[in-house]
């Protein structure tokens, strides 16, 4: 068997960054990936309508981290894409994040400046000094009416939990604006890779020191791999420890059922993402991929997202109970030497893409600084 220095489980963002970094310093890397493709949940491909679609939901890259931005630019050109989301609420279409237009449209208000918007929020919000959960976080920012219309049921559909059962951080991901800014993110760098994410990952992993074993479950073959320097595991943390702390309560994850259809029309909807925060439909949102990069095709592909608890884990579920279960796995993970848990599933954290890049890059720098130090002394 070929000599391996670095064994990596999973070819998503964390796995690809570590593979690329270790290969660049001369290490022999093997990635073992369960799926039949690289790029993890960023995986995209051109479908039968000639449209670049993402298999696991839209991925919008945004970051304030210059280091991450420079890094991803090494492997692809990027075009500027400031993502926008609209929501169908009460037979109206409004922008989300909540901004002046959202309030004007929903309540037939005539707010025209920041001061008036601040006053509206002040009159409506229910202040919480330190919001303890998602419900308090939303009430604190926008108050009960918008909470009911835009957040309560969407969250229930997405997580099968009401905002009160989730950490404040989940709902705090979405800002509230006192101006007309209707961009979903406010980061300095917002862009999509020309040619798609799969191509970006292909470029990252295109190195003679990197081998990739697809369609292989690490847990079926792990006895075959010994003698490596380091193992980086990016799968679900509880799977690594054979779910041993799940006897009383299982660590929860949410998965998504993507229901795709071709519509024989130029466009189906006016925006790439339309959210349905009400109870009239079971799905959370509809994505129309053709909008990304203004793609051209006679037809259009639309994907409805239904969040489910069975299936491949995509989202950790951030709340105190899961954190408690995770802490038990983390304590075990910390005891292992030369085994590192990286990324959304292994750290049980709701990372954005840029955070996943940053964490993997930081880990590499930290370990390599340590090993330089060890060799120097």
Q: How far apart are CA 252 and CA 246, in angstroms?
A: 10
- Site pattern 311..350 for ligand UDP (x: CB under 6 A): ----------------------------------------
The footprint of ligand UDP on this chain (CB under 6 A) covers a number of residues equal to: 13
Which positions from 218 through 277 interact with ligand UDP, judged by CB under 6 A?
Answer: 275, 277
Q: Which residues contact 50 (CB under 8 A, 6 or more apart)?
A: 295, 297
Are the C-beta atoms of residues 347 and 7 closer than 8 Å to each other? no
Note whether 222 and 99 are within 8 A (CB).
Answer: no
Instruction: Count CB-CB contacts under 10 A for residue 148.
Output: 13
- Taking the complex as a whole, the smallest distance from the CB of residue 29 to ligand UDP amounts, in Å, to 29
Q: Is residue 87 part of the contact set for ligand UDP (CB under 6 A)? A: yes
- In whole angstroms, the minimum distance from the beta carbon of 212 to ligand UDP comes to 27
**Binding track, positions 138-157, relative to ligand UDP; x by CB under 6 A:** ------------xx--xx--
- Residue with smaller CB distance to ligand UDP, 47 or 160: 160
Q: Which stretch binds ligand UDP (CB under 6 A): 33-41, 171-179, 245-253, 337-345?
A: 171-179
Nearer to ligand UDP, 92 or 173 (CB): 173
Minimum Å gap between C-beta 120 and ligand UDP is 19
> Should residue 173 be labelled a site residue for ligand UDP when binding is judged by CB under 6 A?
yes
The interface with ligand UDP within residues 277-296 (CB under 6 A) comprises 277
**Distance between CA 64 and CA 186 in Å, rounded?**
9
Stretch that binds ligand UDP, among 18-26, 76-84, 165-173, 258-266 (CB under 6 A): 165-173
The correct pick among 13, 96, 303, 361 for binding ligand UDP (CB under 6 A) is 96
The position carrying tokens 């037979």 is 91
6, 18, 68, 171: which one binds ligand UDP (CB under 6 A): 171
By beta-carbon proximity to ligand UDP, the closer residue of 35 and 161 is: 161
Interface with ligand UDP, residue 174, by CB under 6 A? yes
Stretch that binds ligand UDP, among 31-39, 167-175, 288-296, 332-340 (CB under 6 A): 167-175
Q: Which of the 8 DSSP states describes residue 207?
A: -
Please say whether the beta carbons of 205 and 77 come within 8 A.
no
Cβ-based nearer residue to ligand UDP, 193 or 277 = 277
Q: How far is CA 167 from CA 122, 171, 236, in A?
A: 23, 8, 20
Q: What is the dihedral of CA 280, 281, 282, 285, to 10 degrees?
A: -130
- Does residue 106 belong to the site contacting ligand UDP (CB under 6 A)? no
User: What region, left, alpha or beta, does residue 215 occupy, with left being phi > 0 and alpha being psi -120 to 50 degrees?
Assistant: left
DSSP string, 261-314: EEESSS-SSSSSEEE--SSSSS-SEEEEGGGTTT---SSEEEEEEEEESSSS--
In angstroms, rounded to a whole number, what is the distance separating the alpha carbons of residues 53 and 268? 15
Task: Report the interface residues with ligand UDP, using CB under 6 A.
Answer: 87, 96, 150-151, 154-155, 158, 170-171, 173-174, 275, 277
């Amino acid at each position: 068997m070929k000599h391996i220095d670095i064994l990596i489980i999973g070819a998503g963002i964390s796995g690809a960054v570590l593979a690329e970094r270790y290969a660049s310093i001369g290490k022999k890397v093997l990635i073992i990936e369960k799926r039949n493709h690289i790029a993890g949940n960023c995986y995209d491909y051109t479908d039968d309508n000639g449209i670049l679609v993402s298999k696991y939901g839209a991925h919008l890259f945004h970051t304030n981290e210059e280091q991450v931005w420079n890094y991803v630019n090494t492997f692809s050109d990027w075009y500027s894409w400031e993502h926008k989301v609209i929501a169908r609420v009460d037979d109206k279409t409004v922008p989300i994040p909540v901004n002046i237009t959202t309030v004007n449209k929903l309540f037939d208000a005539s707010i025209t400046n920041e001061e008036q918007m601040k006053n509206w929020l002040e009159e409506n919000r229910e202040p919480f000094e330190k919001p303890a959960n998602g419900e308090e976080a939303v009430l604190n920012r926008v108050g009960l009416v918008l909470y009911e219309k835009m957040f309560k049921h969407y969250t229930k559909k997405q997580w099968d939990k009401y905002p009160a059962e989730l950490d404040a951080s989940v709902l705090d991901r979405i800002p509230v604006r006192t101006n007309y800014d209707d961009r979903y993110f406010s980061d300095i760098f917002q862009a999509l890779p020309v040619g798609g994410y799969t191509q970006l990952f292909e470029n990252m992993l295109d190195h003679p020191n990197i081998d990739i074993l697809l369609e292989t479950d690490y847990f079926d073959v792990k006895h075959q791999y010994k003698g490596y320097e380091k193992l980086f595991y990016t799968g679900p943390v509880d799977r690594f420890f054979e779910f041993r702390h799940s006897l009383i309560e299982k660590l929860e994850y949410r998965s998504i059922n993507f229901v795709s259809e071709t519509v024989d029309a130029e466009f189906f909807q006016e925006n790439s993402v339309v959210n349905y925060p009400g109870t009239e439909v079971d799905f959370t949102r509809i994505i129309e991929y053709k909008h990304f990069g203004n793609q051209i095709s006679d037809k259009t592909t639309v994907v409805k997202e239904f969040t489910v608890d069975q299936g491949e884990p995509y989202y950790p579920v951030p709340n105190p109970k899961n954190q408690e279960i995770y802490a038990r796995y983390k304590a075990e993970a910390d005891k292992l030497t030369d085994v590192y848990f990286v990324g959304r599933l292994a750290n049980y954290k709701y990372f954005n893409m840029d955070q996943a890049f940053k964490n993997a890059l930081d880990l590499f720098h930290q370990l390599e600084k340590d090993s330089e130090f060890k060799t120097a002394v």
